[in-house]
Structure 1
């Protein structure tokens, strides 16, 4: 068993900027959103706890009072999240109006979503100004109403990543598009996740281009906190059952949320109630269970202290779980001593507010980056007494004696590359410029890195992607199965950077021409390499580690950066955190699932193969133990086979013509 390995360890300046308010009572993020209040379609991407719900209140009230809108509809994915948009006094902090919601217009109370459609329609036809409902209620209402029924409204959709462009997977996305095209509705879309495109995009590229984006990144948020100083993201690999390993990373001294694995996953024992029981037994002896809140009091086996545990996994008694959720959202969210550990399966993720949470311990690989970022967001809220937050992913090591080795290896790769992506999200942003002759003179602007041969954005569209969508694009790249293996070194860096990444960019942004694709590609690769690279300062010079050597940042060029796998640390991290025998299993699995060639990839390698053959005086050997030589030989064989196939096709066509 290996100790917890933190892939990410970041420390922040605690400037207080992101939590301080201005004369109108707005935080930094809310000021940015309010500055774009006149936009008809507004997309707000900001981390949990940055104040998106109140930002919506400010914008919506301005639209009601100053922009001629008559009604505001706020849709949330779950009833419990509706409380974030309840009546709020804003005038006492300097704003010109208060956010008021009448009880009959809060449709997030108990009852079926479909049964509330009548109240929704009554609201549209009545004098009320603000309504809160679930996504499901909005969807059922959409199906009963024509798009023009939403004329004069502001439609705010919280946790926007729930909406999908896939009509079959999520009707809300298609219905929203109908309202955008068939009414004058103003839309405010909000998401706490940068990673909306887990499997299908939220909106098509054409529809998303109609939105004015406002991005407030994690670095802005965390660097501006008062209390939280550092954040760690790490992995703990285990063999056997997770219930035997969880004690090695479960720190009872930390306020902890444990997400047990889905019953359909390989990590699950298939008995979620028994798993909860095991975790409870590992803490100590159950003293009592509060009949009103469901909170379990457990006396620790090691020191006798009482640990208060909330069980959100057991759903056999719905009233008991509802009572526990109510307790967590009211008392425990305000009192640090209200609860110590929360056990959950599908709950306690997005919109769940427990500011004292310090450690998110998640069992099993999560295929959705959206889910990972939401879970991390549970512990990144600023709170007195909380200096460090930790996300730990407990992941099963692959076992050669069992099936699904390929799946297990892919899960490990994706979990670690996702952490490396998070490292970039959490890091300071840089501005990249083209380095020209004479640029060495004069003082250097902070946060600006100049690179020889770098292509700066030439259009507003590319600038928008770079400024607001870069992390989301990286998430799409990382979740591509081909790229996951490439990140572990089964494809050479230049093919990864110049073939695989542009292919994904073209698919995601079909409106870009080839020069724009190249500009976006360079931004992705440069940003990734620089943020994943180790930077050291020596005197007045900065050096960055790339491809196992340190290079003066003033001397870097685009060709040097393209020679580096932007996520090369994934395999390095894994090699340090598993045993040599497990590492061999991983290497063999990667080799066995080597990326198949396409014409584009093979042609891109051919100039390098020619140089290699000239330097070595022979063709590359497919039986070589050197992975680069072997890859070159495989590409050459592929090209020879394609040439033979092309000649055969030509002969067949000629014979057909002669016949």
Structure 2
């Protein structure tokens, strides 16, 4: 039986046109913001798809070449197809002082040359008088590792890395190692661009030490979408089903062939895969669209007659035959991107994500949870381009419900938790930013976007001010992705234990802060989490404003940090899902979470000691029980058991050392 499709997030925008309007230099709002930072040695640009990051790089790169004395600009993209975004561009006609011009021999994303020839071209570029080069991340890595290339050649060079979330400090990330080495051995200037608002999924992009060297420009999804001309609403939802998404009608329930759609089929190793093979899976999807008619031998486009008697044009990007892939990719980039009637539905597996430009797309259907949160952001970005054919964009993720063996339940529950996390992370980037300030007087009047909070402390140092200005969203993402916090939140924990876990993350991400700096940063972090939750609503009654936080209705003038700290940021998402998947299924989810081993360190357990003592006093000497039904008592019992074990080990080691 299928569950109802639900949107955890529904957002409505003003359509004020600000993000697409250009100034006298031909710059959009985001590009102006970036150009203001043109003198920065290292710059990190975080902005959503279609906001104009590639042209922003052109503006700033040309200024560095012409006005700042830099000798070369290198642009590295993750794959050749994205290189077209950095081709020759006329900027002068719109008011800028120069055009972006790349010689064909220096655009290494053109043609079909092998890796060896591209590396030779890269080395030649570094040694001659050429100014601008476009290449792939792979070519940059290979060239850097080439013995002919002296690192000193990167002096007085601007290195721009597109889709920067591909970089990490991981030992097996050669691009991350390259970046670290050139930053520390040359005066190279780095411009990093990403459409993701997170520092990767598990491994950070930069070391904390390297990251402090970067100025940051953030242009939010909210600013971008709020400033569109046509797109007014966006929904992000989940459809939980049992069985196969092809057999029980799950796909048919969410697929509307009349809408321009990208369907991403599940990875063969995922729980949602039918295990029949990717090509057979595509054929079955065709059956849900309608009756297959024919295929164009020149373009690769297939024609399917849907249930309303309308022929739909379908592009198969799952078929990886080189000839077919070349034909269909060429058609999509040259025809379908410009002609709204060029294609109706695209079926893909690993393609049609970052850098894929199909402005007409109205809905993205993703079958199976994708392990990468940045990948989800990229997929959502495919349907959030502004276009006259749509006022609403929809992302729907089909995920199988817990059903069957204990192992299956664990996998399904983990996927559902990750889906909830993804939606909460998207809330952060889809909502407007707030500025939080301490309330010191009842007469304070908030400006637009300001929130006064009782008990909130002023930033004690310039370092904290900088963190609040540039790091708050990354810290928020880190909290929501932390498995220990997810388990604690799913079990209903908030208050002191949640404060401890938040503080621990701040210390890990931003080493060297004092206890006071950590606590003040944490207060603003908790406020940000609370105010960007979908369950948080502000209403007006007369001259007073009220806010609903975790089902508490509070006069905004009475908002305090203590109230904010009592809020579970996952609560709204769990409440929505519990209503849709059914009580029995949700009970299985909660039991699975509760039964999970609680990861605990000495620091975590010691942080709970005050609560254990308070429990013992409140219960007349009784200690918390491991088999308790109350979730908080069970957590305290786990901490007590952990500390007892650690004390026993310590005593044994002490006795051995004294023997």
Superposition TM-score, scaled by structure 1 size:
0.94
Query: Which whole-Å CA distance do the structure 2 matches of 1:502 and 1:367 have between them?
Result: 26
Match of 1:4 in 2: 5
The alignment partner of 1:411 has SS state of: helix
Match of 1:139 in 2: 141
Change in 2 beyond 3 A, CA 1:620/1:544: farther
Pairing partner for 1:304 from 281, 287, 309: 309
Match of 1:399 in 2: 403
The alignment partner of 2:460 has SS state of: coil
Assess if the C-alpha contact under 8 Å between 1:496 and 1:565 holds in 2.
no
Pairing partner for 2:581 from 578, 593, 611: 578
Query: Which whole-Å CA distance do the structure 2 matches of 1:152 and 1:480 have between them?
Result: 40
Assess if the C-alpha contact under 8 Å between 1:506 and 1:517 holds in 2.
yes
Change in 2 beyond 3 A, CA 1:442/1:495: closer
Query: Which whole-Å CA distance do the structure 2 matches of 1:346 and 1:459 have between them?
Result: 46
Change in 2 beyond 3 A, CA 1:640/1:71: closer
Assess if the C-alpha contact under 8 Å between 1:195 and 1:475 holds in 2.
yes
Change in 2 beyond 3 A, CA 1:602/1:176: closer
Match of 2:180 in 1: 177
- Deviation by residue 1:335-355 (Cα, 9 ceiling, x = unmatched): 111111111101000000001
The alignment partner of 1:510 has SS state of: coil
The alignment partner of 1:403 has SS state of: helix
Query: Which whole-Å CA distance do the structure 2 matches of 1:599 and 1:200 have between them?
Result: 24
The alignment partner of 1:242 has SS state of: coil
Assess if the C-alpha contact under 8 Å between 2:251 and 2:288 holds in 1.
no
Query: Which whole-Å CA distance do the structure 2 matches of 1:527 and 1:283 have between them?
Result: 43
Pairing partner for 2:201 from 182, 194, 198: 198
Pairing partner for 1:433 from 437, 440, 460: 437
Shift of 1:644: 5.6
Shift of 1:200: 1.1
Shift of 1:594: 4.4
Query: Which whole-Å CA distance do the structure 2 matches of 1:578 and 1:475 have between them?
Result: 26
Shift of 1:472: 2.4
Shift of 1:451: 1.1
Match of 1:121 in 2: 123
Query: Which whole-Å CA distance do the structure 1 matches of 2:591 and 2:349 have between them?
Result: 33
Change in 2 beyond 3 A, CA 1:608/1:548: farther
Shift of 1:613: 4.5
Deviates more, 1:518-527 or 1:85-94: 518-527
Change in 2 beyond 3 A, CA 1:579/1:445: same
Match of 1:538 in 2: 541
Pairing partner for 2:270 from 238, 245, 265: 265
5+ residue gaps, structure 2, are none
Pairing partner for 1:416 from 416, 420, 424: 420
The alignment partner of 2:491 has SS state of: helix
Whether 1:489 aligns to 2:494 is no
- Deviation by residue 1:593-639 (Cα, 9 ceiling, x = unmatched): 04244333333333334444544546355244333334344444545
Match of 2:165 in 1: 161
Query: Which whole-Å CA distance do the structure 2 matches of 1:353 and 1:552 have between them?
Result: 45
- Deviation by residue 1:552-596 (Cα, 9 ceiling, x = unmatched): 221121122112222222322221221222112212211210424
Pairing partner for 2:391 from 387, 392, 404: 387
Query: Which whole-Å CA distance do the structure 1 matches of 2:336 and 2:301 have between them?
Result: 11
Shift of 1:142: 0.6
Match of 1:569 in 2: 572
Query: Which whole-Å CA distance do the structure 1 matches of 2:459 and 2:166 have between them?
Result: 31
Query: Which whole-Å CA distance do the structure 2 matches of 1:276 and 1:222 have between them?
Result: 32
Match of 1:455 in 2: 457
Pairing partner for 1:238 from 235, 238, 241: 241
Superposition TM-score, scaled by structure 2 size:
0.94
Match of 1:628 in 2: 632
Query: Which whole-Å CA distance do the structure 1 matches of 2:135 and 2:546 have between them?
Result: 53
Assess if the C-alpha contact under 8 Å between 1:269 and 1:275 holds in 2.
yes
Deviates more, 1:113-122 or 1:201-210: 113-122
Change in 2 beyond 3 A, CA 1:188/1:464: same
Whether 1:248 aligns to 2:248 is no
Query: Which whole-Å CA distance do the structure 1 matches of 2:458 and 2:256 have between them?
Result: 47
Match of 1:20 in 2: 21
Match of 1:555 in 2: 558
The alignment partner of 2:171 has SS state of: coil
Match of 1:480 in 2: 482
Change in 2 beyond 3 A, CA 1:537/1:595: farther
Shift of 1:115: 2.6
Pairing partner for 2:232 from 226, 229, 232: 229
Change in 2 beyond 3 A, CA 1:618/1:545: farther
- Deviation by residue 1:193-218 (Cα, 9 ceiling, x = unmatched): 11122121111011111111111111
The alignment partner of 1:399 has SS state of: coil
- Deviation by residue 1:272-296 (Cα, 9 ceiling, x = unmatched): 1011000111111122211121111
Match of 2:36 in 1: 35
The alignment partner of 1:308 has SS state of: strand
- Deviation by residue 1:223-248 (Cα, 9 ceiling, x = unmatched): 11111101110100011112232111
Pairing partner for 2:220 from 210, 217, 224: 217
Shift of 1:641: 5.2
Assess if the C-alpha contact under 8 Å between 1:410 and 1:484 holds in 2.
no
Change in 2 beyond 3 A, CA 1:443/1:478: closer
Whether 1:281 aligns to 2:287 is yes
Assess if the C-alpha contact under 8 Å between 1:29 and 1:51 holds in 2.
yes
Assess if the C-alpha contact under 8 Å between 1:197 and 1:472 holds in 2.
no
Deviates more, 1:6-15 or 1:125-134: 125-134
Pairing partner for 2:368 from 353, 364, 371: 364
- Deviation by residue 1:171-207 (Cα, 9 ceiling, x = unmatched): 0111122211222222111111111221211110111
Shift of 1:65: 0.7
Assess if the C-alpha contact under 8 Å between 2:157 and 2:189 holds in 1.
yes
Pairing partner for 2:318 from 303, 313, 321: 313
Pairing partner for 1:294 from 296, 300, 304: 300
Pairing partner for 1:342 from 328, 346, 353: 346
Deviates more, 1:91-100 or 1:556-565: 556-565
Query: Which whole-Å CA distance do the structure 2 matches of 1:37 and 1:15 have between them?
Result: 27
Query: Which whole-Å CA distance do the structure 1 matches of 2:10 and 2:464 have between them?
Result: 31
Match of 1:78 in 2: 79
Query: Which whole-Å CA distance do the structure 2 matches of 1:425 and 1:107 have between them?
Result: 34
The alignment partner of 1:390 has SS state of: strand
